[in-house]
Amino acid sequence: MKAISILHVFDCYLPETENWAYRMLKSIPDTEIRVAAIRFNGKFQDKDFSFYRFPLNPFRYATTFFGTVLIPGLIKPLYPYYLRNRMQSPDIIHAHFANTSYFFLKLKKLFNRPFVISFYGFDYGALPAATERWKERYQKLFNEADLFLCEGAAGVQLLEAQGCPAEKIGIARIGVEIERIPFFKRIKHPCRLNLLQVATFRKKKGHRDTIAAFAAALKECPHMHLTLVGEDSGDGTREEVLTKITRMGIGDHITIIDKIDYTHLHLFMKDFDVFIQPSCFTEECDCEGGAPVALLDAQATGLPVIATQHCDIPEVVLHGHTGLLAPEHDIVMLTEHIKAFYYMDGAAYDRYSEQARAHVQHSYNARICGVRLRRWYEKLLNKGCYVP
């Protein structure tokens, strides 16, 4: 198989919460990976990748009445031209997230190569809903880019609804390195339950619904504990959750941890019975886009999931097979799902656990997902318009 070169472009390479993107890149077979980003944070610096850092600071500081603030620098638009002069033409340019793709779209003409855009979450709805200007920019992306990749069928529908040509849309699942994730044989006792949610405190992650359903189930199921792991996004969700916990008087049953390093995540999950994440659309039209990768990590360890019928989650969590799903904001059904796992015996629990692992291994193995992504690249190149 001939090696092809892919220039992957990001806004920031790479936040800890986007570690899945690093696994995606390194799982693509027979490719030369090049990475460009407006910002680099020093993480996930793979020795087999080529990195192209802009030698000038793309931002500048200004002193205003309100103090020193960071504003976009005038040199930032020069970055694509720097890349054009710095490297030989890649076979394909792959932009991650719609906002990043718009900034780097000029690379399509500078290199005369196919341009791929992957959508992941806020860029499905929250970004175009923010301003009319972004709606116009999306139409430009739909007209000029060659391929739009989603995580599943729900993402395809969201893009089509905004006017993206159906023939330009494909599905590229995000996977996990299943061979690196241990499967834990847990001992589930009836009338006991240890719940876990790992997610940044954002509205779309459903923390408020988690607390409401947990508190309701706790009235009947006293031997339960909930652990919330996640950083504060600054949107007020964390403060609201803390206030609800205090007001409901359930603090003794809840532990909050700011952060778990991904390298320790799977071992940390070993001591829990169920992973919970009732994701939802927000008032600002933000959504998961696909599905939280943490749901794959959890199931890979054998941890069943309670979640919602949100975006592509029903593809990632199979209702009645690897977990239980409820409609968004359906606190009654979420409560019943918690109670179902609380009373569940070991034999029934083991079936969920084993099926969760098998599902991820079969459908979300990063290595297999990488092969499928490469096939999308090959399909573009075989059109004949962009063959070097």
- Write down the pLDDT at residue 199: 95
Query: Consecutive sets of 10 residues in the chain, 388 residues long: mean pLDDT of each?
Result: 89 91 95 94 92 74 49 69 94 95 95 96 84 90 96 93 94 95 96 97 96 98 97 93 95 95 94 97 89 96 98 97 98 98 97 98 96 95 58
- Residues near 121 by beta carbon (within 8 Å), at least 6 away in sequence: 204, 286, 287, 288, 289, 290
Topology alike, domains 4-175+365-381 and 178-363: yes
Q: Domain coordinates of the chain in residue numbers?
A: 4-175+365-381, 178-363
- Write down the pLDDT at residue 75: 62
Tell me which residue has tokens 């609380």: 342
User: How far is residue 52's CA from residue 111's CA, in Å, rounded to a whole number?
Assistant: 16
CATH code of the domain made up of 178-363: 3.40.50.2000
- Write down the pLDDT at residue 122: 85
Q: What is the 3-state secondary structure (H, E, C) of the chain?
A: CCCEEEEEEEEEECCHHHHHHHHHHHCCCCEEEEEEEEEECCCCCCCCCEEECCCCCCEEEEEECCEEEEEECCCHHHHHHHHHHHCCCCCEEEEECHHHHHHHCCHHHHHCCCEEEECCCCCCCHHHHHCHHHHHHHHHHHHHCCEEEECCHHHHHHHHHCCCCHHHEEECCCCECHHHCCCCCCCCCCCCEEEEEECCECHHHCHHHHHHHHHHHHCCCCCEEEEEECCECCCCHHHHHHHHHHHHCCHHHEEEECCCCHHHHHHHHCCCCEEEECCCCCCCCCCCCCCCHHHHHHHHCCCCEEEECCCCHHHHCCECCCEEEECCCCHHHHHHHHHHHHHCCHHHHHHHHHHHHHHHHHHCEHHHHHHHHHHHHHHHHCCCCCCC
Q: Among 89, 73, 61, which Cα is nearest to 4's?
A: 89
Q: Is residue 62 within 8 Å of residue 69, measured between CB atoms?
A: yes
Query: What fold does the segment set 4-175+365-381 form as a domain?
Result: Rossmann fold (3.40.50)
Q: Is the pTM of this model over 0.75?
A: yes
